């Protein structure tokens, strides 16, 4: 595909200006019910990265990696549970809003100890 340079530049600019959905997601062990709650400014990309890292056994959460290896990928589910609501406000801080959502969901789902993979 051979596009004119101005079209390529326009496509690159459009890609860079696209705001990706930020949010919180859960990785759930369907056998034990244990969960890992995480968030990202690119929630879909973060879930894909987590799947990839778990497959390579290189995810930073070693307990999750251990269960993934023991039970297999088919016994884990990935779900976006909340998204940052974008605001048309110059003072809006997506990262701060994401941190609030993440703290809220970690508290709500009690994802530490025997119920989860996250540290308290």
The answer on pLDDT for 114 being more than 90 is no
As a whole number of angstroms, the distance between CA 55 and CA 17 comes to 31
User: pTM for the whole thing?
Assistant: 0.84
Indicate the Cα dihedral angle 71, 42, 100, 52, nearest 10°: 20
The confidence band for 3, taking pLDDT boundaries of 50, 70 and 90, is confident
Domains of the chain with bracketed CATH: 20-115 (3.40.1440.10)
The answer on pLDDT for 78 being more than 80 is yes
């Amino acid at each position: 595909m051979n596009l004119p340079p101005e079209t390529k530049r326009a496509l690159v600019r459009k890609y860079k200006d696209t705001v990706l959905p930020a949010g919180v997601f859960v990785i759930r062990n369907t056998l034990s019910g244990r969960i890992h709650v995480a968030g990202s400014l690119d929630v879909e990309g973060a879930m894909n990265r987590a799947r990839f890292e778990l497959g390579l056994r290189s995810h930073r959460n070693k307990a999750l990696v251990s269960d993934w290896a023991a039970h297999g990928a088919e016994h884990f589910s990935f779900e976006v549970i909340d998204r940052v609501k974008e605001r048309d406000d110059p003072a809006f801080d997506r990262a701060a809003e994401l941190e609030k959502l993440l703290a809220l969901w970690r508290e709500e789902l009690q994802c530490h100890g025997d119920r989860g993979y996250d540290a308290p």
